[in-house]
Structure 1
Amino acid sequence: MDKEPLVSVVRGEPTDLELAALVTVLTAASSAVDEQPAGTPPSAWARSARPSMRPASWRASALPS
């Protein structure tokens, strides 16, 4: 192993359990588990109940569909 370690203990002598806890926390923090899942787009029925956010949407609301 020619690489420098990503984490090193600078002071003290951690137990195996403490090192395992540290590795677990660092692994969890760097994993993709915490990423927000891509949301599903709302259905056409749900969108029909929401007003449009376009600047001139009030004009289009009076037009027949």
Structure 2
Amino acid sequence: MIKVVRGNPTPEELAAALAVVRARAAARNEPAPGIAPPPTNWSDPARIARR
């Protein structure tokens, strides 16, 4: 959630700020080029082993 604390931004300014926040969040979730993503728990053989 984004909250404006000071000022009175225009709808265009709010849209620009939201676009920056969403782009940064999307870039943070993408792995770097050339680096394989970490394996998930689904590929872990210990997941199917009896305990």
Indicate the TM-score class for this superposition, using the shorter chain for normalisation: 0.5 to 0.7
- Match for residue 8 of structure 1 among 3, 13, 16: 3
Larger radius of gyration: 1
Identity rate, percent: 44
Two-structure CA RMSD over aligned residues (Å): 2.2
1:34 CA drift (Å):
5.4
Unaligned runs of 5+ in 2: 36-51
Aligned residues: 34
The structure in which a higher percent of residues are helix is 2
Normalised TM-score (structure 2): 0.55
Higher RCO (CA-CA < 8 Å; seq separation 6+): 2
Residues 23-62 of structure 1: per-residue CA shift (max 9 Å, x gap): 000000000475312x28xxxxxxxxxxxxxxxxxxxxxx
Mapping for residues 23-62 of structure 1, pairs under 5 Å:
23-32=18-27, 35-37=31-33, 39=34
The unaligned stretches of length 5 or more in structure 1 are 1-5, 41-65
Q: TM-score under structure 1 normalisation?
A: 0.44
